[in-house]
Structure 1
Amino acid sequence: MAIDMSEHQNSHSMISGALATPELRADRWMNVLYLARKWEKTKNPLSKEQLLISLKNLEEIDIYFAYPGAICLKLLNEYLQENDTKAFLRLSQRISTNIISKKFHRDISVWDGENYEDEPFNRLPQAISRIKTKPYFEVLSVVPHARSRWQHIKEEARGVRRPEDEFIYETVVVGTAADALKGILLNSDIGAVVLYEGFEPGYSSQDDFLRVFKDVIDLSSVEEDEFLSLSLAQAIKKIRPELDIFLLSDQNIEDFSGKKESLIFNRIFYQMEEPLEIHLAIMEAIHCRYRTPFFDNLKKYAERPIATFHALPIARGKSIFTSNWISDMGEFYGPNLFLAESSATTGGLDSLLEPTGNIKDAQDMAAKAFGADHAFFVTNGTSTSNKMVLQALLVPGDIVILDRNCHKSHHYGCVLSGAQPYYVEAFPLVEYSMYGGVPLKTIKQSLLKLKSQGELNRVKMVDLTNCTFDGHVYDVRRVMEECLAIKPDLIFLWDEAWFGFAHWSPLLRQRTAMGAAAAIDEALNQPEALAAWEDQQKVLGENPTDEMLLATRLVPDPRSVSVRVYQTNSIHKSMSALRQGSIVLVKDAKFEHVESQFHEAIFTHASTSPNLQIIASLDVARRQMQLEGYGLVANAMRVSLEIRKQINSHPVISKYFRVLNNSEMIPEAFRESGLSEYNDPNVDWSKAIEAIKDDEFIIDPSRMTLSCGHAGFDGTTFKNILADKFNIQLNKTSRNSVLLQSNINNNRSDIALLLSVLNEISMDLENKFRKGGVDYKENFQISIDKLVYDLPNLPNFSKFDDCYRDDPKSDTLHGDIRRAFYDAYNESGCEYVLLNSPEIDERLKSGPVLVSANFVIPYPPGFPIMVPGQVITEEIIEFMRKLDVKEIHGFNKYLGLKLLNKKSIS
């Protein structure tokens, strides 16, 4: 059955539907509720006709959900046919609010369509009603049976439930592979899939709903009858890899179970086996994801009577709760925080530095969840994660291709490792005082330049930020493939501090480091990979020019490439972890050769007294994302897309504020699809997905740059107004914008609050403008001109001073940042010059050259405009003089710029 998207498209773009697919049904139920209220109030036959259409459209989706179930839907239709407007409104309101609040997860009584004010609905066994607070999920059964048998399959599954079960589930039944794919896309509650061999493909190339995902994920195999169960399982894993899949076969399962392909299934059953075994296997599989090795052990540890003779007085809380002066701390945090503290790594706990027990188990589970080979927990943030990776993989003299605008931890990582950064520039967005991402052409040019200078052998790593603070996301796979075509042994570090959640979006996962690495790995093992490389070589010839290589979509030689990818995530930034909870993910074919030095980097940077609560929160965050991350991320997308639409279409708010769209954040040259706005109602499925699949850069939909310059506010001032007056918190600003982020914590009430605040501020500006005189209006316009039009150019990296370059005659950009950094420790070899002194202007004209002694990092925009050993140019000084921010790391306005004295370093 094809899903009609026309109704949804009235209020959301097609891209919105694709990114927030699980929220599609909730929107339609709210539309039914809206029409029900209208019908009950007016008794208008036209409203009834609209309800008939809405219910028909809703039924196309509701078949993929267990709640509200056939009985409630039948009752709702009966009320409609009988013109019982009050009963229809009452039941539709109950169903809608239960879906929005997910009350049906917790309260079995809401499943009763008619007697919901009486005892709990007795359609389910009495034992089940007593365990309504157990975690709830749904099982998708794909069967070859006639529809008349589907209800029996559901009842059979209910019949094997037991009071001692750890979880509770309901069954959703479909009859084709196509409906199975729609089910897992639409229903985020599905936690397991049971395939009964013999079902039909049911796939149509005309199905718009599946076609959008087919353009990103290869679903072609589900169109064929042969090995359909295996093909469907593979397609499901590509969409939602966390799901458990079981196969019921009437074939010779003993032979199939010994094959590699069978590993995709959690377990294979012969179709005549007892339903209880299937039920128990499902329970066990969910338990495996639900299990949190470290957190579970920490809870047990807290329950034990323990005397501590180690150096941590706060452990067990006795110094807190018995104190006259700090007992309020115990009251605030509660006893468990202190009972779960220890300096020990025994007695059920483990060592983060050399884990062998439950921390190791937790890390292994995290690696599997993120699609990595290895995972390492970090309790002092992704700043440390980045420095660990750089120190482990680079040695003095190595060259790393590095985004100049990346987080400062990468620059300091070069100082620590002795690697020489070859800075590459991101495209500038001068009108918003920010940078985007580094174009692929720029990265390739740097590699080719080093190759021409005979230094390509020194290049060990490409280090980039994905996504950037402002939301620019790379085509990660293409970047890695084209770079590997130039140098097959490159290592990649992707700082995805802000992008960890993307693994649980089937559309965004391909743009993560681990998602792209898996895709490259799979592609390189196909025979087509070698054929594509050989065809490319025929076109390029033996000695292709740099111009040819820059203009060609390069593919690597699969015989010489090693996939070596590292990804760092601030789990606390987008998942339910405590602050500073980070993770390093590894997919490195040669990890065994660097494992010992990687552990040395851990020993160097990790605390010997790591925070146990942060470790536990990393464990729990993984559990949550594996069991409900798909739906949570979809909701975050829905929130952000709705904020974009409401702000930019509001008649008053949009005069002063607007969320910048794709075309404003990404130059046209990097948007091959032409997509300019996520909420464009004229964008169809193919255009929207083409952008996510093929554009060189996209904007992370959850990150919204809110322009505030036209309201007369600079970013810092507006951020403070929101925090101090309206209790709305955010952190990143630019000269004329603030960054809004939606995450798994946000809901639609947050949208309403934000809009009401922006409306209040906008109305206040309207009143002031209307009542203000000519002077007010002129001053208001002057402030706008200063913020929106009179903007400093963003300076590029100049170069390292010749004394910090291996070959001053070379025109490559890398330099010895480590030596420059430590040269600045010699105070006698440094000098200070005030920023606005005439001396600076004179030296810029006639010398001696100005060489920065340290990092200078203004916040905002937050990138280093000077690094140790860098030559300071007129553009940099002009930018510094126009900055009106108070926080500039590495710069003391009373002392001036700290410079390296040329005489002392020459």
Structure 2
Amino acid sequence: MSILSQQKAPIMEALNKYKKMRVVPFDVPGHKRGRGNEELTAFLGENAMTVDVNSMKPLDNLIHPVSVIREAEELAAEAFGAKHAFFMVNGTTSAVQAMVMTACKAGEKIIMPRNVHRSAINALILSGAIPVYVNPGVNSELGIPLGMALEDVKRTILEHPDAKAILINNPTYYGICSNLQAITDLAHEHGMLVLVDEAHGTHFYFSDDLPASGMSVGADMASVSMHKSGGSLTQSSILLINNDVSEGYTRQIINLTQTTSGSYLLLSSLDISRKNLALNGSEIFRKVGEMAQYTREEINKIGGYYAFSKELINGDTIFDFDQTKLSVHTLEIGLAGVEVYDILRDEYDIQIEFGDIGNILAYISVGDRRLDLERLVGALSEIKRRYGNDKSGLFDHEYINPQVVYTPQKAFYATKEKLPINESAGRIASEFVMAYPPGIPILAPGERITTEILEYIQYCKDKGSFMTGTEDSKIEHINVLKETEQ
């Protein structure tokens, strides 16, 4: 890594130069550097408003970068060990969709774990690619989906040798990693592209103590959420390509869905954050790992809770674990994770990342302080004392293997009818049902609705999970394929 080049932040430098030029703006945005919207300027600050500008020659253009954005992307590619990096301003959702749509055309197969983020299945609806699901391993004690077993991947590749690509989560929301190197090598032996969803793995690129990153094992594409652990603004992300993936074609695919009005607030945040990680990332994530480990040990001293980590590693479905993730199992204290999540927010003014049926996740970053971590541990101790209960009657698993009947695209666009959700067992879903976060579908278009799935959805609703995906915002009705379509 060239330290001198990584000290540059070309987009930020170009914006600072542009501000000094005192250009009179007869272009968009219409707030004209904040003067036309005083309340917004007072709220966001004059500095932010003066760099919320339009693409122009001195500032380059995101849809076809040739100068400062291109230079910033090249620096990012060097920092992440990729052939090229694309700055994304539609979130990692857009990056995941671009990966799938670059790798697969309509009617072509892609192998993926079923516990993918909804963005991957949305990409199938948009592109018409056909999913071949590998059901992830499941830890029955924690009730969570794991990584893909290597033997399951091998069998699926042999059964579907015409698949164009395989998508891998690295890591899952909970911090669990599959055997990324072995799966990548296996896929490449069979002529398949390897796509890696690294929404929760930005930091893997900047620490030797953390699991392997997509680019380090030779994967072809990776989607990296810089705004999660990388420090950039919400909605900013990076798509990495490697090997023989075409930069020009990938750019064309990105431009099918990404805005032509790229936000310079988001772009400059990617540029500055990349510089910070390239120069300081190793030390940053060493501290984050230490903070997470300290908090994990303190939580486990409380009793009842289980903050899990590398002791789960089994060499296959849990090949590695991201120690920066503070994932905590809560069922033993008699509370669902989402109940602990709500109590922390409503009674202790502590906002964690998510709570699901059996677990909570606190996202720890360099921005956290020891005092805040102590406060979290103290609150969890009090919650156990005040609300701890018998665990009987609690749902004990998070993931249900789906029965896939039709492709997501065919089911989503098929002739459908609306049914009360509690009368839909046996029918084929035409839409998603999911708890958000984490945004992993309980049901996806084309899957058969079962009594077990309906019980799980109702349980999630009863426990206070934020349910999304259906046309009916109350999740009381669901669109299913008309029986004539089945």
- Output the TM-score relative to the length of structure 1: 0.51
1:902 equivalent in structure 2: 483
1:607 aligns with 2:324: no
Which aligned pairs between 1:199-598 and structure 2 lie closer than 5 A? Answer: 242=1, 286-321=3-38, 326=39, 329-346=40-57, 348-450=58-160, 456-457=161-162, 459-485=163-189, 487=190, 489-508=191-210, 511-517=212-218, 565-588=220-243, 590-591=244-245, 594-598=246-250
Among candidates 642, 645, 662, match of residue 294 of structure 2: 642
Summarize the alignment of residues 773-792 of structure 1 with structure 2, pairs less than 5 Å apart. 780-781=389-390, 784-787=391-394, 790-791=395-396
Aligned-pair CA distance for 1:430: 4.0
2: CA distance between counterparts of 1:894 and 1:380? Answer: 27
Structure 2 Cα separation of the partners of residues 341 and 874 of structure 1? 50
Instruction: Tell whether the 8 Å contact from 1:465 to 1:494 is kept in structure 2 after alignment.
Output: yes
| DSSP 3-state at the match of 1:899 | strand
Structure 2 equivalent of residue 863 of structure 1? 440
Q: CA deviation at 1:671?
A: 3.6
Contact 2:11 2:69 in 1 (8 A): yes
Distance 2:438 2:50 in 1: 42
* SS of alignment partner, residue 421 of structure 2: coil
2:359 aligned partner: 737
Change (3 A) 1:583 1:792: closer
What is the number of equivalent residue pairs in this alignment? 482
In 1: Cα distance, 2:345 partner to 2:143 partner? 22
The alpha-carbon deviation at position 317 of structure 1 amounts to 1.7
Q: Contact between 2:309 and 2:323, CA under 8 Å: does it hold in 1?
A: no
Distance 1:895 1:629 in 2: 46
For residues 459-492 of structure 1, the C-alpha deviation after alignment (integer angstroms, 9 at most, x for no partner) is: 100011110001111221111112333x1x2101
Q: CA deviation at 1:304?
A: 2.4
Contact 2:55 2:261 in 1 (8 A): no
Distance 1:753 1:632 in 2: 22
Given that residues 374 and 587 in structure 1 are in contact (C-alpha distance below 8 angstroms), is that contact kept between their aligned partners in structure 2? yes
> In structure 2, how many angstroms separate the alpha carbons of the residues matched to 1:334 and 1:882?
44
Map Cα deviations across residues 168-218 of structure 1 (whole Å, 9 max, x no partner).
xxxxxxxxxxxxxxxxxxxxxxxxxxxxxxxxxxxxxxxxxxxxxxxxxxx
CA gap of 1:332–1:865, structure 2 versus 1, over 3 A, is: closer
Task: Specify the code of the residue in structure 1 equivalent to 2:428.
Answer: V
User: Whose helix fraction is larger, Structure 1's or Structure 2's?
Assistant: 1
Distance 2:353 2:208 in 1: 28
Normalising by structure 2, what TM-score? Answer: 0.92
Looking at structure 2, the residues matched to 755 and 890 of structure 1 have their Cα atoms a distance apart, in angstroms, of: 34
Counterparts of 2:105 and 2:278, CA distance in 1: 37
Could you tell me how far 1:424 is from its partner in structure 2? 1.1
The aligned residue for residue 618 of structure 1 is 270
CA 1:296 to 1:860, structure 2 compared with 1: closer, same or farther past 3 Å? closer
SS of equivalent residue, structure 1 residue 315: coil
Partner letter of residue 353 of structure 2?
N
1:427-470: per-residue Cα shift (whole Å, max 9, x none)?
Answer: 123444421111111111111122xxxxx23x100011110001
Contact 1:388 1:601 in 2 (8 A): yes
Contact 2:357-2:397 at 8 Å conserved across structures: no
> What residue number does 2:328 align with?
706
Letter in 2 for 1:583: I
For 1:19-67, what per-residue CA distance to the aligned partner results, in whole angstroms no more than 9, with x for missing partners? xxxxxxxxxxxxxxxxxxxxxxxxxxxxxxxxxxxxxxxxxxxxxxxxx
Report deviation, 1:797: 1.9
Classify the secondary structure of the residue corresponding to 2:440: coil
Match in the other structure for 2:285 = 633
- Secondary structure in structure 2 of the residue aligned to 1:751: helix
Provide closer, same or farther for how the CA distance between residues 701 and 399 of structure 1 changes in structure 2, counting only shifts above 3 A. same
- CA displacement at 1:764 relative to structure 2: 4.4
Of residues 360, 374, 377, the one that matches 1:755 is 377
**Is the Cα contact below 8 Å between 1:469 and 1:498 reproduced in 2?**
yes
- In 1: Cα distance, 2:336 partner to 2:476 partner: 27
TM-aligned CA deviation for residue 712 of structure 1: 3.6
Q: CA deviation at 1:399?
A: 0.4
Q: Structure 2: which amino acid aligns with 1:799?
A: V
Query: CA contact under 8 A between 1:792 and 1:882: conserved in structure 2?
Result: no
SS at match of 2:355: coil
Aligned CA RMSD, in angstroms, stands at: 2.3
8 Å CA contact 2:12–2:271 kept in 1: the answer is yes
SS of alignment partner, residue 785 of structure 1: coil
More displaced 10-residue stretch of structure 1: 599-608 or 628-637: 599-608
Partner of 1:718: 340
Partners of 1:595 and 1:833 lie apart in 2 by: 45
**SS of match in other structure, 1:319:** coil
Distance 1:481 1:514 in 2: 13
Report the secondary structure of 2:33's partner residue. Answer: helix
Unpaired runs of at least 5, structure 2: none
Distance 1:819 1:337, change over 3 A: same
- CA distances 1:373-425 after superposition (whole Å, capped 9, x unpaired): 10000011000011112122211111000111100110011111111000111
SS of 1:568's partner is: strand
Cα pair distance change 1:400/1:299, threshold 3 Å = same
| One-letter amino acid of the structure 1 residue matched with residue 467 of structure 2 | I
- Aligned: 1:830 with 2:384: no
- Alignment match, 1:798: 403
Q: Secondary structure at the match of 1:288?
A: helix
Name the amino acid aligned to 1:889. T
Query: Quick check: 2:404–2:448 contact (8 Å CA) kept in 1?
Result: yes
* Residues 430, 794 of structure 1: 8 Å contact kept: no
**Which ranges in structure 1 are unaligned for 5 or more consecutive residues?**
1-241, 245-285, 451-455, 518-563, 673-694, 770-779, 805-815, 824-828, 845-849
RCO comparison, higher one (Cα < 8 Å, 6+): 2
The 8 Å contact of residues 308 and 315 in structure 1, kept in 2 or not, is answered as: yes
2:305 matches 1:657: yes
Q: Cα distance, 1:566 vs. partner?
A: 0.3
Residue 632 of structure 1 and its aligned partner are, at CA, apart by 0.5
Partner residue, 1:216:
none
Distance in 2, Cα, partners of 1:342 & 1:860:
32
1:877 paired to 2:454? yes
CA 1:764–1:753: 2 relative to 1, 3 Å? same
**Deviations 1:839-872 (CA, angstroms, capped at 9, x unpaired):** x56xx4xxxxx21112222346642232222233
How far did residue 345 of structure 1 move?
Answer: 1.7
Change (3 A) 1:755 1:792: closer
1:502 is aligned with what amino acid? F
- Show CA shifts across 1:513-570 (max 9, x none): 11111xxxxxxxxxxxxxxxxxxxxxxxxxxxxxxxxxxxxxxxxxxxxxx6101100
Q: 1:506 to 1:646 in 2, by over 3 A?
A: same
CA contact 2:82–2:242 (8 Å) conserved in 1: yes
Letter in 2 for 1:863: I
- 1:731 Cα deviation from its structure 2 partner: 2.1
Structure 2 vs 1, CA of residues 886 and 407 (structure 1 numbering), >3 Å: closer, same or farther?
same
Structure 2 vs 1, CA of residues 647 and 333 (structure 1 numbering), >3 Å: closer, same or farther?
same
1:794, distance to aligned residue in structure 2 (A): 3.6
